[in-house]
Amino acid sequence: MTADQPLPARQALFNRGLLLLLAGQTISMAGNQIYGVARVLWLKRATESASLIALMGIIAASLSVLLSPLGGAVADRYPRRRLLVLSDTLNGTAVLLIAVLMFAAPDSTALIVTALIAMTALAAANGSYFGPSMAASVPDLVAPRQVPAATSAMQSSFQISTLLGQAAGGALFQWLGAPVLFLVNAISFGVAATSESFLRMPPPAQDPEGRSTFRRETSAGIRYVWSTRGLRATVIGSSLLGFFAVPVQILFPFFVDDFLKAGPSWYGYILAAQGIGSLAGLVLAGSLPLSGGGRGRWVLACMLAQPLALGVLAMVRRPGAALALALFAGVVSGFVGVAINSILQCNTPREFRGRVFGAVRSISAAASPLAMGLAGIAADALDKNIPLIYQFCSASMLATACLLAFNREFRRYVSQEFHGNAAIGEARV
């Protein structure tokens, strides 16, 4: 059996393939989070420039918007196992070179900053095909009914790695310094690439006429998203919900400090509660044995519950109440994320799966920077009246969720049974 052949259809959830992908990416995620903390702290100490840190975020978001649709087409055209290995190998090599540069010439600040900017661009470009490739690979490793549990396991592991990496990054930076942490990240990429090289996946679908181009494949993926009415409603609705949720995160430090009258420690506690709630939602979505219709009702209930929790949050003034609401919001958000992601993974035809995830990634990345900018403008214009902004965002999210709840195609789409390669049957909510 070659590396690009699938495993048998009936297999355990935590089979060889899923464990290889899970182990490699968990280690890589932790290393990347440590790297992210070390990069920001090094830039602050070396340059004291907030603009440079913001510039890297802008570069990453802009390239994600521009390249993700093309990256989705790449994920559908070439063997996904090889794309995963290529991305982690390129990222690991680049970070290793920066670590060597830091060890060899620690005072070459301008050169190191230039290398970090180039690394940010390279990572964003690699991510444009890596993200769709990894998301599209999960249904190739487990049976259709196991996709929610597999997605939950992967995202839960990533969430834990993120929390641990972010928590440890600052202390490790003080103890070991940026060059060592960059080297650790390079090693983690190498571990991930090695693990992925042993995956078995089916070969990509071939164009029978052999005339397909990236332009045609990209446009075909976008047409598929737009012509599948339930999927179109899901992508647009989810992007709108995400757009109105971004200001809540951006302005949360002001809300905690100015309105809850709590110290920095409470800001950390509430963020941690949200992360723990999200982890619980991920586990819940993967463990509940829901039918298509039952899952659809849960998705709609959680979509309606999240903005209601946000509306209540805008009115509370006790840190403990805010912590409980953040925990609850994390649970429902995590549940919806796994449920919708699993439907996309399992019921999108394999030949379009990468392009669908590329389109979703592009739309989401396009909305976030705009939402961040508008949040800052609104906060300044309203003299930091954060509760009013939260109430507006809550009302907007609730209106979006209600529109989705009354959209028949959306209800049918999120209530499908899992059929592996295509949406064959749909249930009613």
Q: Say how many Å lie between the first and final Cα of the chain, rounded.
A: 43
Burial class (CB in 10 A: 0-12, 13-18, 19+), 171: exposed
Tens of pLDDT along the chain (429 residues) come to 444 444 444 456 678 888 888 888 889 988 998 898 888 889 878 887 766 776 787 788 788 888 888 888 888 888 989 999 999 999 999 999 999 999 999 999 999 999 999 999 999 999 989 988 888 888 888 877 777 778 778 877 887 887 777 667 777 888 898 999 999 999 999 999 999 999 888 887 665 444 456 677 777 777 887 888 888 888 888 888 888 988 887 787 778 878 888 866 677 677 778 888 888 888 888 787 777 788 889 999 999 999 999 999 989 989 899 999 999 998 999 899 888 888 887 777 777 778 777 877 777 767 777 777 787 788 888 888 889 999 999 999 999 999 999 999 999 988 887 665 443 333 334
- What is residue 13's predicted lDDT score, i.e. its pLDDT? 65
Q: Describe the chain by its helix, strand, coil percentages, rounded to 5.
A: 80, 0, 20
Of 415, 429, 400, 410, the C-alpha closest to 307 is 400
CB neighbour list of residue 298: distance below 8 Å, 6 or more residues apart: 288, 290, 335, 339
Calculate the alpha carbon distances from 151 to 130, 274, 375, 418, 422 in Å. Answer: 16, 20, 31, 13, 18
Pairwise CA distance, residues 354 & 98, whole Å:
31
Q: Any idea how long the chain is?
A: 429
On the 0-12 / 13-18 / 19+ scale of CB atoms within 10 A, 17 is buried
Phi, psi of 15, deg, nearest 5 = -85, 180
Tell me the C-alpha distance between 284 and 300, whole Å: 15
Are the C-beta atoms of 71 and 132 separated by less than 8 Å?
yes
In angstroms, rounded to a whole number, what is the distance separating the alpha carbons of residues 342 and 292? 12
Indicate the pTM of the whole model. 0.69
Q: What is the pLDDT of residue 144?
A: 74
Residue 135: closest CA among 84, 182, 207: 84
Q: In sequence order, which residues have a C-beta less than 8 Å from that of residue 380 and are 6 or more positions away?
A: none
For 6, left (φ over 0), alpha (ψ -120 to 50), or beta?
Answer: beta
Which residue type sits at 319? P
Residue 268 confidence (pLDDT): 64
pLDDT for res 263: 67
Q: Could you tell me the domains of the chain?
A: 16-196 (1.20.1250.20), 214-414 (1.20.1250.20)
* pLDDT score of 8: 45
Q: Is 48 left (phi over 0), alpha (psi -120 to 50) or beta?
A: left
- For residue 9, the model assigns a pLDDT of 44
Please give the pLDDT value at position 265: 66
- Residues 134 and 21: their CA atoms lie apart, in Å, by 9
Question: How many whole angstroms separate alpha carbon 416 and alpha carbon 413?
Answer: 6
Q: Tokens representing 103?
A: 């060890």
**Are the beta carbons of 39 and 178 closer than 8 angstroms?**
yes
State the Cα–Cα distance between residues 15 and 239, nearest whole angstrom.
Answer: 33
